[in-house]
Structure 1
């Protein structure tokens, strides 16, 4: 039952009447409506040219490299959770020693990811923050559409302010995060923990 509730909370909002377009390969996008200037600009923004190949089918559609909490007041300017080698054991250790965020600071969430063989459209990042089982925050941010390339993309989301006060400092916050597209395909789903404190 708890799993179903969490999935409901991590369901992206939808726009009534919107239907995602048909998925195409990189080569199909490259040949699509070559005379359409606005489409040509969109394809160029995804790195798709007339000579586009099929991408690398051996690579995953999306590889999530890291998630960062960035704040100008944090030591070194940011606190990073690296997901490359984040095993179940490391996630369990994170629950015992959560990331510390200073109360009242401004911060933003950033993710680093790579796209494999296909154009991924309508990507969104969602997370639900719970303290003692009660939802205290929810974030839904558009990531956008991205084409395959060897270099990682980095997407930074809107700045938020960490809560402050004794209640905010009373316990850990469990965050369930997800990267999903406009067809409902989930590319990453993980849980991490942070706590609010008087200082970093």
Structure 2
């Protein structure tokens, strides 16, 4: 009887913990906007964070992921994945071939981070963990471009089909995105 190796994708997608860091007490946009109302410069700073705009009009905290994109100097145009599709449509991307665009509504999101594990034939070959930051609600999209990476050199080392699992979560361990997709590397895009 042969044992199957444990799929440790969940472990791979667990964010690193910073020793001594404690998530602060959550406050609503209205509570933060009401603090220190006599300090004009602080009020301008809060307004620049979106504390008081239309996007913070109430309701529960909400991150809306718009697109995930792959950019390369060898591509004629970016490869973009529309994250507003249904889960069924996103699941189809697992069989097909980085930056991210999103909006934040209603409340501040703290410690938003992007995690990604790339596997080839079931073996993890790359893990990306990028802190996106903390954001206030606003109607305009936020865009985060990740550091570029290079695939291994040599045709045999880099060509092939890869499976990817991408996740976006915050300090409260709320998972805003979790989906699998894939891509194929070859000599030419």
TM over 0.5: yes
Q: Displacement of 1:162 after TM fit?
A: 2.4
Query: 2: distance between equivalents of 1:44 and 1:13?
Result: 32
2:15 pairs with 1:12: yes
8 Å CA contact 1:30–1:52 kept in 2: the answer is: no
Q: Figure out how many residues of one structure are paired with residues of the other and give that number.
A: 184
* Unpaired segments ≥5 residues, structure 2: none
**1:7-47 deviations in Å (ceiling 9; x for gaps):** 11111111111101011111111123456799667634422
**1:118-161 deviations in Å (ceiling 9; x for gaps):** 11011000100011110000000011111112222111111211
Q: Displacement of 1:188 after TM fit?
A: 0.8
8 Å CA contact 2:91–2:180 kept in 1: the answer is: yes
- Comparing 78-87 and 5-14, the one that deviates more: 78-87
Query: 2: distance between equivalents of 1:35 and 1:146?
Result: 24
Q: Name which of 112, 116, 127 aligns with 2:101.
A: 112
* Unpaired segments ≥5 residues, structure 1: 100-108
Stretches of 4+ moved more than 4 A in 1? 34-42, 51-54
8 Å CA contact 2:168–2:177 kept in 1: the answer is: yes
Name the structure 2 match of 1:105.
none
Q: 1:80 to 1:86 in 2, by over 3 A?
A: farther
Q: Displacement of 1:178 after TM fit?
A: 0.6
Q: TM-score, normalised by structure 1?
A: 0.80
Q: 1:197 to 1:146 in 2, by over 3 A?
A: same
Q: The residue matched to 1:193 in structure 2 has which SS?
A: strand
